[in-house]
Structure formats: C-alpha cells, structure tokens
A and B are shown apart, each in its own frame.
Chain A
Amino acid sequence: MAETSTVSKNGRNSSYAIEARDLSVYYGDFRAVKNIDLQFNVNRITALIGPSGCGKSTVLRSFNRMNDLIPVAHAEGEILFHGKNINDQDVDPVEIRRRIGMVFQKPNPFPKSIYENVAWGAKINGFKGSKTEMDALVEESLRDAAVWDDVKDKLDQSGYSLSGGQQQRLCIARAIATRPEIILMDEPASALDPISTLRIEELIQELKEHYTILIVTHNMQQAARASDYTAFFNMDTDRAGYLVEYNETNELFTNPKDELTEQYITGRFG
C-alpha cells in the first residue's frame, strides 16, 4: 500500500481520499446496508445524514474496519484507499486504523492523564522522538483541537476531569496526534450542549485544511452548516440502508433531486 499510488487495481485514476464501491455490510445474515457507491474528496468535509437505523454509522465504521470488532459483521464490495481494497485479506486493519482515525459519538478519553491520552496513540504508532518532541506533538495536537488553552495547566490530570465538550476535543486531539489522512466522526457533537457543538463544528472547519473528514450526523442544520458534501441515506423496505442522494451540500439542501431527500430535509419524516 504505497503512499503515492493513486491508481486503483482496475486502472481507473482515483483522486479520492477513499471510495466505496458496491459496498454491502452484513450482521450475520442481516444486510444492514446495501450497494453503496460513494467517493470522498481530499480535504473536504462530507456529511452522512439519514433517519435512525439507515446504516450511516455502519458505513462510516466500515471505512476503518471498526466493524471487525463485531464478530458477526462482514463487508462485501470494495473500499478503495490509495487504490487498494481495505477489505482484502492481506490488509492489516491496524495499519488502516492508523491512517484513518476515528472520533466517537460519546467522548471516550482513556482513564489516564490528558497528556497520556494524546501521547499514547503516537507512542504505539512508532513515535520515536525525545520527550521534548513528544511534548511539542502533544501541544500541537491539543492546539489543533482547540483545547490547549483549557488544559495546558492540568496536563497531568485525568481526561475525565474535563467537561463533555473538552473531552470530545481531547478525543479529536488524540486522533490527530497520530497524523491520520482521514478522520471519521460518528455524531461527534450529539452528546454535547449547543455551545460545545458549535465549537466542535468550528474545529472541524479548521481541520479540513489538513484532513479529509467524514462526519455522521443526525442534525441536518449541522450538515448544512459544516459540510462541503452531503450523502443522504435511507432505509429500504428490507430494512437495509441505501444511498439515496449524494451531492454538494448547497445543492442537496437547496435543490434535492430525489423526492425522499426533499421530504427528509424539510422535516416530513425521519
């Protein structure tokens, strides 16, 4: 999986950060999502929206193979990352997760010090720098996650001592300390108050300069405010999620091509 390879195995040029082709995910015999085709642009924010149970989180988690943690889950189809299908047998999911970071719905800092929370990911990713370099990395990550000013005086205190919004930004700092290419965010603001939510949204805007961001959200205003592209998912009659419409956010919200999309964004279901 060479860093420079942007040519997929069937020869098509791929300028996308990551791309799903005919992706279906199963939990045992149950098909949770079916036939997803999606391309995510580099250094852009893409929002995945849709009603509950439509499989948007499942899709997101399949991009860094987090679904592997669920024993009965398996995926069909391709997810191309640097031209390589990450579901191939010879791909190490640990390597994928190092390059595609993740932020979860509920802030889940480690029960360690704030410093350790950020440093640990870098350490296990083979960070070999000195103590000073590690200090610099921790500070930079916390600054990038807009939480440095809140925590700079209590780096040795537990991550749990922070407020929910600070915890979530700490989790974002932890994710970017490993220098991933893509950050997956699974409803990162849903457990937070409106002010914290706003700060997370601002932060996401700043982060897109360096990272490709995929964000699952329940909140349509958030998708409209904070994303460049939006993918709308819905649940089919067989309870499998499928992609209804995918477009630039402005376009999708102002001029939806699908009737379902229009109904959803105008609040008539979901």
Chain B
Amino acid sequence: MTREQVENLMVNAADWNEVNPDWPSLATAKYIPAETSGTMDFFVENFFLEQTLQDISYDGLVSLFAANVSAGRCKAVESEQRFYADRLVCDTEESFQARCESANPPTGCTLEPRDHASMEDLVYADIVQPVVLKSWFLIESLLNRSEISAEIAREYPSAEMKFKRWLTWDFVVSPQSSVPELAGVRTAILGSLWLVGIAILFAFPLGVGAAIYLEEYADKTNRFNQIIQTNINNLAGVPSIIYGLLGLAVFVRALEPITSGCVFGVVDCTVANGRTVLSGGLTLGLMVLPVIIISSQEAIRAVPSSLREASMGLGATKWQTVWSHVLPNAIGAILTGVILAMSRVIGETAPLVVVGAATFINTDPTTPFAKFTSLPTQIYQWTARPQQTFLNIAGAAIIVLLILLFVLNATAIFLRNRYSKRLG
C-alpha cells in the first residue's frame, strides 16, 4: 500500500475500492484513535505533518477534522460556522434548520462558510495539538546546541526541535486561551487601556480641581485644610492593596448598582456584578489621585506670583487668573504628574486582584460594565501556572507590557510638549 493510499483511506475514502479499484467494494470503518495512542501520533506525524496543513486541500482538512473529533464537537463547530455552503458534514439538515429557527440561532446560520486558513487553525488547535515538551533559552540554545540535540534525541525521540518566538503579532492580537500556544494578550491589553482611560478621566479633573482649590482658594492657616493637606500627602504612600480593599468595599459592593451598570439598564439587577472594568478603573483612579493632586500643587506653586499679580492688577477675578494664566503655565508640569500616574495605573496588579479582575476571560471589554483583566494580572496568573509554556508566554506578555507602557508614555510626553509649547 502506498502512502497516498493510506492517506486517502484515512481522510476521504468511504469504500475500499476507492483506495484501489482492484479491491472489493466494502465500506471502510474508521476508528478514532485515542489521543494517548501511538497510532494517532504515528499517522499525524507520518502522513500530515510532513506536508504542512497548507498543502492539504480544503476537503481534506474538513474530512480530517470530522474524522478525528467527537460528533458533538464537530456539530458545535459546524453550527458556529459551516464547512460548506451547500451541505453539512456533521449535522443533519433537519436539526440544523431547527436550530436556526430557534430563538437564539447559532452564528453558522448567517456566516459564510469557513475558508482554508480558518480550517488550518481548527485542525491545528483540535487535532494536531502540538505540545511543548521542553524549552531552552535563546543563549543556551545558541551555545549548547549539540547537547540539546542529543538530549532531545535521547529523551523525546518523536519530538521536533523548533526555534519558537513567543512574542509574535499573533500573540498580541489573540484573545486569552487555555492552550498556551494559542493564548494571546489582546483581552488584557484592551483591559489595561480601559483601566488607564477610566482612571485618568476620573483622577485628572478631580485631582487638578483639588490642587487648584488647595493652592489658590483654601485658607492655608485653617486647621481643617491643614489636616486635608497632611492626609493627601500620607495617602500617596498608602500600599496599593489597601486601595484594592477600598475599591472592593465601595465600588464593587456599595456602588454595585452603578458599577455593574444595572441602574442604566445594561444588565438585569438580579444578576448584577460590580466586578467590572469601571470598578477597577475607579479604584486605580482613587489610588493615583493623591499623586496627581500633589504634583499639580507643586506645578501651580511654581507659577511665578508676578503673573498672578499682573492678572489681578488688571481686574481679573481669581478664577480668570487661574484659568487664563496659572493653569496654562502649570499644565506641562501637571501633565508630567499625570503621565507618572498613568504608568502606575498600567503596572498595578494588587488592587485589581482584590477588586476582581477575571482569572480567565476571552471576550474583549467593550463597555465600562464589562468583565476585564489587565496585562499585569494576566502575567501574574500565567506565572502561577505549573506548565513551562505559560511561563514562556508570561515572559512575552511582560515585554508587551513594557512596550505598551513605553508607547503610552511617549505619546503622552509628545502631546504634553506640543501642547505646552503652544501656550508659551
């Protein structure tokens, strides 16, 4: 029997004489080998991986898939998106129609059939299921190449040695997955961006407003104001986990109707859950508020008093002076404080763990009331997993976090410099 004949038998043929016309016309019986069986690995390695998945025809991929997964999984995949426009592979016409006419039709009823690329992904994820047995660091693999090769030949004779970059564009744009080879950080990046946005939108106006009040309006000899000032200074040094507990008590629990969005009709109040990106953002906003207040106060104090006198001497009110002269001259330094606060928000993990960043989530946050995770939280969870591969992608996620931080800071600094120059 030739290799082609075996492949045909495995994938397409329903009758023995389709494989070889000389053979009798008998229906083939296909048995799905258990994942642990050597037969499966043998066939996959010898018949499909020598050629890449790209080389296999679309029909071949579909048959391969249908033959190697359970009927239920196949049906589920088909109802997500059909394999063929004109026929069904795993489901019957009647039951598919029935599901499409139900109150909650699956996506396969409306979507176009799958294409070759998505079939490749499906086969790769469900059938090939590559497993990383062992990984070495770059330096080690460069210097000890021969020893590694020897070890592989000795310990994992059927394994393939491969240079793998963990940090790829796919890694950045893929959602979270329980398969580490397929997991990405898109959900976490979006979560982090939502958190920064909410935290800064909340803390910037409040912080600058408080700084203006304390510097320009409040009577500094007043005992009450002195206590407020001292408290703000101390709050800047409170451990972030304490803010997490505060956020849990206030935003997640006490303000649950608001932070879950149920008062806005986003979710049903009986199932409302305050562990949303809004709660997380507000908690982090609260955490950086003292930092923003203090740096804004410094910035306002640094505006020369001659400028205030010039403005007041012209008959400007206090507010006109603050708005037209003090703020435009302080804004550069204020924004420096805000940029520092932003970096802190991106890097913070502890309060989010307490507030309830999701441990596993693969849907993008699209509203303030969505469940969320953030990059540092994601990294923390991956490093806590026992599998080596999760540690590797955690390393890649750390680099993504640093790049994100760098890009956000650079953008903010660029905008600040442009904006403050225009005022000068």
Q: Which residues of A contact B (CB under 8 A)?
A: 64, 66, 69, 71, 94-95, 97-99, 101-102, 104, 106, 108-111, 120-121, 124-125, 158, 171, 174-175, 178
Judge whether B310 and A104 touch: CB under 8 Å.
yes
Range for the number of chain B residues in contact with chain A: 20 to 34
Contacts of A64 in B (CB 8 A): 313
In B291-347, the 8 Å CB interface with A consists of 304-317, 320, 324-325, 328-329
A124-B309 contact in complex given A111-B329, A111-B423, A158-B424, C-beta closer than 8 Å: no
Query: Which residues from chain B contact A109 at a C-beta distance below 8 Å?
Result: 310
Instruction: Report yes or no: A69 in contact with B315, Cβ–Cβ below 8 A.
Output: no
Chain B residues with Cβ under 8 A from A71's Cβ?
219-221
The answer, among B314, B324, B424, for a CB contact under 8 Å with A97, is B314
Scoring A99, A111, A171 by chain B CB atoms within 10 A of each residue's CB, the highest score goes to A111
Q: Which residues of A contact B312 (CB under 8 A)?
A: 66, 69, 97
Of chain A, the residue at the smallest CB distance from B304 is: A108
- Cβ contacts A to B, 14 pairs, < 8 Å: A64-B313, A66-B309, A69-B305, A69-B308, A94-B315, A94-B316, A97-B313, A104-B310, A111-B424, A121-B315, A124-B314, A124-B315, A124-B320, A174-B314
Q: Given B219, B307, B328, B329, which contacts A108 in the complex, CB threshold below 8 Å?
A: B307
Q: Give every chain B residue within 8 A of A120 (Cβ-Cβ).
A: 314, 324
Q: Which of B219, B311, B316, B320 has the most CB of A within 10 A?
A: B316
Query: How many angstroms from the CA of A104 to the CA of B324 in the assembled complex?
Result: 19
Residue of A nearest to B328 (CB): A111
A106→B311 CA distance, assembly (Å): 14
CB of A106 within 8 A of CB of B315, answer no
Q: Closest Cβ of chain B: how far from A253's Cβ, in Å?
A: 30
CA–CA, A178 to B219, complex, Å? 30
The CA-CA distance from A120 to B306 in the complex, in Å, is 16
How many Cβ-Cβ contacts under 8 Å join chain A to chain B?
68
Which residues of the other chain, A, contact B219 by a CB distance below 8 angstroms?
Answer: 71
User: B residues within 8 A CB of A66?
Assistant: 309, 312-313
Q: How far is the CB of B99 from chain A (nearest CB, A)?
A: 68
B315 touches A125 (CB 8 A): yes
Query: Bound state CA distance, A34 and B46, in angstroms?
Result: 107
When the two chains form their complex, are residues B310 and A171 in contact, meaning their CB atoms are under 8 A apart? Answer: yes
Q: Is the CB of B314 within 8 A of A121?
A: yes
A110 and B310 in contact, given A71-B220, A124-B320, A158-B424 (Cβ under 8 angstroms): yes
Q: When the two chains form their complex, are residues B306 and A108 in contact, meaning their CB atoms are under 8 A apart?
A: yes
Question: Do B314 and A101 have beta carbons less than 8 Å apart?
Answer: yes
**Cβ of B314 and Cβ of A104 under 8 Å apart?**
no
A109 to chain B, nearest CB (A): 8
By CB atoms of chain A within 10 A, which of B306, B308, B315 has the most?
A: B315
**Chain A residues, CB < 8 A from B423:** 111
The chain A residue with its CB closest to the CB of B220 is A71
Asked if A98 contacts B315 (CB within 8 A), the reply is yes
Tell me which residues across on chain A come within 8 A of B309, comparing CB atoms.
66, 69, 102, 104, 108
Known A-B contacts A71-B220, A111-B423, A124-B320; A104 and B313 likewise in contact (beta carbons under 8 Å) = yes
Q: Interface code B264-292, partner A: CB below 8 Å = 1, 0 otherwise?
A: 00000000000000000000000000000
Q: Which residue on chain B has the smallest CB distance to residue A117?
A: B310
Contact B325 A110 (CB under 8 A): yes
Contact assessment for A110 and B313 in the assembled complex, using a CB-CB cutoff below 8 Å: no
Contact A110 B315 (CB under 8 A): no
Shortest beta-carbon distance from A166 to chain B in Å = 16
Residue of A nearest to B317 (CB): A94
- Tell me whether B313 and A175 are in contact (CB under 8 A): yes
Query: Beyond A97-B314, A102-B313, A121-B315: 20 further Cβ-contacts under 8 Å?
Result: A66-B312, A69-B308, A71-B219, A71-B221, A94-B316, A97-B312, A98-B314, A99-B315, A104-B306, A104-B310, A108-B304, A108-B306, A108-B310, A110-B307, A110-B325, A111-B423, A121-B314, A124-B324, A174-B310, A178-B315
- In whole Å, how far is A244's beta carbon from the nearest beta carbon of chain B? 28
Residues of B within 8 A of A125 (CB): 314-315
Rounded to whole Å, the gap between the CB of B213 and the closest CB of chain A is 15
Docked pose: A195 CA to B204 CA in angstroms = 49
Across-interface contacts of B306 in A (CB, < 8 A): 104, 106, 108
Residues of B within 8 A of A121 (CB): 314-316
Max chain B CB contacts within 10 Å: which of A69, A104, A171, A174?
A69
Q: Is the CB of A124 within 8 A of B313?
A: no
Bound-state Cα–Cα, A94 to B321, Å: 11
- Whether A110 lies near B424 (C-beta < 8 A) is no
Residues of A within 8 A of B328 (CB): 111
- Determine the distance from Cα of A66 to Cα of B320 in the docked complex, in whole angstroms: 16
Q: Which 9 residue pairs spanning A and B have beta carbons closest together?
A: A98-B315, A102-B313, A121-B314, A108-B306, A97-B315, A108-B310, A124-B316, A124-B320, A94-B317
Query: What is the distance, in angstroms, from A34's C-beta to the closest C-beta of chain B?
Result: 25
* Interfacial chain A residues near B313, Cβ < 8 Å: 64, 66, 97, 101-102, 104, 175
A102 contacts across to B, CB distance below 8 A: 309, 313
CA distance A125 to B314 in the complex (A): 8
A83 to B311 alpha-carbon distance, docked (Å):
26
Q: Within the complex, what minimum Cβ distance (angstroms) separates A215 from chain B?
A: 15
What is the CB-to-nearest-CB distance from B316 to chain A, in angstroms, rounded to a whole number? 5
Rounded to whole angstroms, the CA-CA distance of A71 and B305 in the bound complex is: 14
Distance (Å) between the CB of A124 and the closest chain B CB? 5
Bound-state Cα–Cα, A146 to B316, Å: 25
Residue ID in chain A nearest B318 by CB atoms: A94
Chain A nearest CB: distance from B144 CB in Å? 63
Measured between beta carbons, the chain B residues less than 8 angstroms from A101 are 313-315
Q: Say whether A175 contacts B329, CB under 8 Å.
A: no
| A99 and B220 alpha carbons, distance in the complex (Å) | 30
Q: Closest residue to B321 on the A side, CB-wise?
A: A124
* Complex interface: chain A residues within 8 A of B317 (CB): 94, 124
Residues 21-55 (chain B) with a chain A CB within 8 angstroms = none
